[in-house]
Chains A and B, each alone.
Chain A
Amino acid sequence: DGGITQSPKYLFRKEGQNVTLSCEQNLNHDAMYWYRQDPGQGLRLIYYSQIVNDFQKGDIAEGYSVSREKKESFPLTVTSAQKNPTAFYLCASSIGFETQYFGPGTRLLVL
């Protein structure tokens, strides 16, 4: 079955620690995205990538980093520089102007 998978479902971060959220898609989509959602809020774009080995900052990129070494994979690292990382993180993918399809999300909590 084609789709987007994210892991883990829940992630706990200790102070000063970097953590990496996984996003994999087998839809053969060129574009991939990372969004952050805070409780009761909309979706804010962190990073996006249109092709392999290329990515651009979104609206709230500070404290985050990404890589796009394979078409199928777009991992997000939440660095220690992100002082308020607690949120619901959503990965999405699309073909050009077409619809963005979302993964199930990862909930990040700070210990």
Chain B
Amino acid sequence: QQPVQSPQAVILREGEDAVINCSSSKALYSVHWYRQKHGEAPVFLMILLKGGEQKGHEKISASFNEKKQQSSLYLTASQLSYSGTYFCGTVADSWGKLQFGAGTQVVVTP
């Protein structure tokens, strides 16, 4: 079942922060975060395994709440380059089939 992402879209000024949420109704093995620029392929940002660990990629970090089956992606001090559509992918099956959310469009303005 497809995970649910919120919000659908967010507009930020450079330097502002944002949070993108990804939730699932299933028990999860891992959560993957990707960013896609317009007309390009999705680019992997980070993977979180169950255990509640938090990871970071430059000023982008994420957490995974195993009990709530929810992951959050934090964009800190946003830069223009952060614009794009962010997808979460969740893995619940034993063989690792990713289910992608519908995406969150992020627009960072000067």
Question: Interface of A with B (CB < 8 Å)?
Answer: 31, 41-43, 45, 48, 50, 90, 94, 96-105
> Is there an interface contact between A43 and B100, defined as CB atoms closer than 8 Å?
yes
Name the contact of B96 in the complex, choosing from A42, A45, A90, A96 (C-beta under 8 A).
A96
Other A-B contacts than A42-B102, A100-B98, 13 sampled, CB-CB below 8 A, are A31-B96, A42-B103, A43-B42, A43-B87, A96-B95, A97-B30, A97-B96, A98-B47, A99-B44, A101-B44, A102-B41, A102-B42, A103-B41
Interface range for B: 20 to 34
Question: Interface of B with A (CB < 8 Å)?
Answer: 2, 29-30, 32, 40-44, 47, 87, 89, 91, 95-98, 100-103
A48 to chain B: which residues have CB within 8 Å?
A: 97
For the complex, give the distance between the alpha carbons of A85 and B41 in Å. Answer: 18
For the complex, give the distance between the alpha carbons of A104 and B87 in Å. Answer: 17
B91 to chain A: which residues have CB within 8 Å?
A: 97
Known: A42-B87, A42-B103, A43-B87. A104 touches B97 (CB 8 A): no
For the complex, give the distance between the alpha carbons of A42 and B43 in Å. Answer: 14
Residue of A nearest to B32 (CB): A99
For the complex, give the distance between the alpha carbons of A42 and B4 in Å. Answer: 11
A50 to chain B: which residues have CB within 8 Å?
A: 95
Name the contact of A100 in the complex, choosing from B32, B101, B102 (C-beta under 8 A).
B32
A10: min CB distance to chain B, Å: 11
A45 to chain B: which residues have CB within 8 Å?
A: 97-98
